[in-house]
Chain A
């Protein structure tokens, strides 16, 4: 069994409510933090090596230290609960079952950053979780952990839940702030970064749900102990939401030292591929990160074992590696069509493009159309090169990373599965009745060793 820091109490009866949560040691980190200076807390978080769990993996302590502190100007902490990256559903699980862990992390973080009004921006579809969070907030307030003069420290804090209304782009932090201000979710041009000019032009920190929850064990065990868990610059634990063609889809907490092979095949985690099928490919970190064929997923191009951490998943760059991303782990078995799967992702990004930048607005729609025609056996060989060309022209040419996020899955699919795209062009009729299946890039001889 791996170490669990966030999910260790997830199955305790009644943990969703204050009494059980407090009985299990909840809110101790608030009692500890309020006796410290805010700067010491920021230093602890820096020392812990915690990296943002939303997808970018930016060091949290460093992000916090960038926050401007001009006199007489309010500062804000905003929790990004707009989880929308296909394949990712860890924050939903965390908020649904451990709402007090988020509230606790938010109180400590608000104190460290000096935010007296903290907002949780939650995706609109998670409507029932709004009720769960608001109930937890009311309980925390009734027990003196929120409101004015918390535990006699002189620190005031209120937490509000703000519900979005269906827009992936609002997971991008400046789009989220626009949306929180009651506007369309159009990302802002940076700089200025939110740390200088964020919500209502005030200095603002935006952090992911899981990141803010991780503050609690960091405070409880101390940054040094936290940093000992994991490996290299992948400290602490990471939540992985596993889905697609696996026996045990769900949310797992890992300590980032296990191999990808163990994660997929061991019974403690995904439990292998259903119906005795073979592994074809996997998107290890949410739909935006490059898809990898089985052989490159389990081992790096150098032939070394690939592990479930930031560095190892990225080994080989985009040529032969991928990314940890948000931890949305999507597995494709031998019966899946990579062209169709890529098409659904392209459709997703076209639907979610805010329309501000023409390379993304036009490019995502163009890619979707070409992929659909290829998938339907109506494509030409030159379409594959055209797709490659379009994604190249989106990447890096937009205000926010949605452009990159739309380009990368298409690029990786062509890079690793070009023969499957060509097969669709060369076999327009056959491709409508059966899938390409496995080919040289897959791992047909793989026998799990765990």
Chain B
């Protein structure tokens, strides 16, 4: 059963109050972020229906938005997501090699998740950190100036994190 905890529900209400009366649909993008963070990193149909219910809008209004924006995951993802930028400035600084290296190291393709459910690899378009290329989005932050060594360290870090938290 998909449902926010009481404190998340309070957060949702606080977000809705940022918009004038009757304009609560504006809270849709922030609420989808909240849902994705709290329901396993992706948006199931059930999660989207739940957001529609909170905002008292039609489910289709949620689906059409969730499918438009690239940050919403519409299928299950790994515990850790590597979103590697591949646009011009990152390409000039070797992002192609970084993507190939991660593919080979984790033995997955772009858009795939490792069998242990730990890692998902995604390619993304410009993250707005071109001066620190090549880069990836990792959770709430960016990892910049990527090298093969830094990718190795990050994978190690994730594995340790998963081992400690299990």
Binding site for B on A (CB under 8 A): 74, 83-89, 91-92, 117, 123-128, 160, 162-168, 179-185, 200, 241-245, 249-251, 283, 287, 328, 330, 332, 336, 340-341, 344-345, 347-348, 351-352, 354
Contacts and interface: CB of A to CB of B under 8 A. Distances in A.
A160 B131 CA distance: 29
Given A166-B69, A182-B65, A127 B88 contact: no
Interface in B99-139: 124-133, 137
Interface string B71-114: 11000000000000011110111000000000000000000000
B23 A181 contact: yes
B51 to A, nearest CB: 11
A23 B72 CA distance: 41
A105 B55 CA distance: 33
A194 to B, nearest CB: 16
A243 B133 contact: yes
Contacts of B132: 249
A340 B13 CA distance: 47
28 contacts: A74-B20, A85-B126, A86-B89, A87-B89, A87-B130, A88-B130, A92-B129, A124-B29, A124-B33, A124-B69, A125-B127, A125-B137, A179-B29, A181-B23, A182-B27, A182-B55, A182-B61, A183-B64, A185-B68, A242-B131, A243-B89, A249-B132, A287-B88, A330-B88, A344-B88, A344-B91, A351-B125, A354-B68
Nearest to B129: A89
A86 B126 contact: yes
A193 to B, nearest CB: 21
Contacts of A330: 88-89, 92, 130
B26 A164 contact: no
A296 B27 CA distance: 48
Contacts of B71: 124-125, 165-166
B29 to A, nearest CB: 5
A198 B91 CA distance: 37
B130 A348 contact: no
A89 B33 contact: no
B92 A336 contact: yes
A241 B65 contact: no
Interface residues of B, number: 41
Given A163-B33, A165-B29, A244-B93, 18 more contacts: A83-B128, A86-B130, A89-B130, A125-B71, A125-B137, A163-B29, A163-B30, A165-B32, A166-B69, A166-B72, A182-B55, A184-B64, A245-B92, A245-B93, A249-B130, A328-B130, A348-B88, A352-B125
Contacts of B27: 182
Contact of A251 (B28, B92, B127, B131): B131
B140 A88 contact: no
A28 to B, nearest CB: 28
B69 A89 contact: no
Contact of B131 (A125, A126, A181, A243): A243
B70 interface: yes
B8 interface: no
B18 interface: yes
Contact of A165 (B70, B86, B93, B142): B70
A89 B129 CA distance: 6
Q: Which 10 A-B residue pairings sit nearest by Cβ, starting from the closest?
A: A165-B69, A182-B28, A166-B71, A249-B131, A166-B70, A243-B130, A182-B25, A86-B126, A184-B68, A165-B71
Given A89-B128, A244-B89, A244-B92, A180 B26 contact: yes
Contacts of B165: none
B160 interface: no
Contacts of B86: 344, 347
Given A184-B64, A243-B89, A84 B128 contact: yes
Contacts of B126: 84-86, 168, 287, 348
Contacts of B127: 125
A46 to B, nearest CB: 30
Nearest to A158: B18
Given A86-B87, A249-B131, A330-B130, A182 B26 contact: yes
B141 interface: yes
Contacts of B130: 86-89, 241, 243-244, 249, 328, 330
Given A117-B20, A163-B30, A244-B92, A345 B128 contact: no
B10 to A, nearest CB: 16
Contacts of A241: 130-131
B70 A86 contact: no
The CB with the most chain A CB atoms within 10 A, among B23, B28, B89, B133, is that of B89
B132 to A, nearest CB: 7
Given A180-B26, A184-B68, A348-B87, A89 B131 contact: yes
B95 to A, nearest CB: 9
Nearest to A245: B92
A125 B72 CA distance: 11
A274 B105 CA distance: 29
B135 to A, nearest CB: 10
Contacts of B29: 124, 162-165, 179, 182
Interface in B1-21: 18, 20
B164 to A, nearest CB: 23
B69 A164 contact: yes
Identify the interface centre among B20, B88, B125, B129: most chain A CB within 10 Å of its CB.
B88
Contacts of A287: 87-88, 126
A200 B23 CA distance: 8
